[in-house]
């Protein structure tokens, strides 16, 4: 007598297994035989390749290149600071509309000898107001904390992103652009990662 066979048993289940490209090497893998004497060298080569695959793409970095320091002999300048309730248009020069006088140097710079400017490139941080061509004010003396916008170097490339933390406790750098074009940069073992300073402000010119 023939036995009934359960057609659902055995075989590959739809959707089972790891998705292609989700592993260490970000692509499908296959088995192969290698000489026993070469296993250590091949493992080291594959580990290096895996780290390279996890490195952030140049598009995610928006690598800023233009650096500048404040002028050493900058003299103080005090300009009128009008009340925020002044209507749109040209503000009245009347004295009763002026709250105080503001020195842009003192406002933007806490410590001149630890501060430098970086020109923003790309659009990865537009949702925090950093647009291409803006000058970011970076203070290398401030201690970065989670949530700060920082200038970081990753494997020899600069980037400006928001400092955060992964679930495993390792740092990550987050973009501020909801378009989906820019991905978080996950800092992994083997990466050269260093924070050069905290972005404390920015400025731009329109003409």
Active site (catalytic) residues: 124, 161
Distances (CA, A) of 36 to 27, 39, 48, 50: 25, 5, 20, 21
Separation of alpha carbons 143 and 120, rounded Å: 21
Separation of alpha carbons 49 and 8, rounded Å: 39
Separation of alpha carbons 165 and 174, rounded Å: 9
List all residues 6 or more positions away from 123 whose beta carbon is below 8 Å from its beta carbon.
62, 131, 132, 177, 179, 181
Separation of alpha carbons 92 and 178, rounded Å: 39
CA 38 centroid distance within chain: 38
Any idea which residue has 């070469």 for tokens? 38
Separation of alpha carbons 51 and 36, rounded Å: 24
79-82/67-68 β-pairing: unpaired
């Amino acid at each position: 007598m023939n036995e009934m066979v359960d057609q659902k048993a055995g075989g590959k289940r739809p959707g089972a297994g790891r998705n292609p490209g989700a592993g260490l090497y970000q692509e499908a893998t296959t088995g192969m035989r290698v000489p026993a004497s070469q296993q250590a060298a091949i493992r080291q080569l594959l580990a290096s390749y895996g780290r390279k695959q996890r490195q952030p793409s140049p598009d995610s970095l928006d690598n800023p290149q233009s650096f500048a320091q404040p002028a050493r002999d900058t003299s103080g300048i005090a300009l009128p600071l009008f009340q925020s309730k002044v209507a749109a248009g040209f503000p009245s020069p009347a004295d009763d509309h002026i709250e105080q006088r503001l020195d842009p140097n003192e406002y933007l710079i806490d410590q001149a000898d630890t501060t430098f400017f970086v020109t923003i490139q790309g659009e990865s941080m537009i949702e925090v107001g950093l647009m291409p061509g803006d000058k970011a004010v970076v203070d290398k003396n401030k201690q970065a904390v989670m949530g700060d916008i920082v200038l970081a170097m990753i494997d020899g490339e600069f980037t400006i992103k928001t400092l955060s933390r992964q679930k495993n406790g390792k740092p990550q750098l987050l973009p501020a652009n909801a378009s989906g074009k820019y991905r978080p940069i996950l800092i992994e073992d083997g990466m050269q990662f260093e924070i050069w300073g905290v972005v404390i402000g920015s400025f731009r010119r329109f003409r």
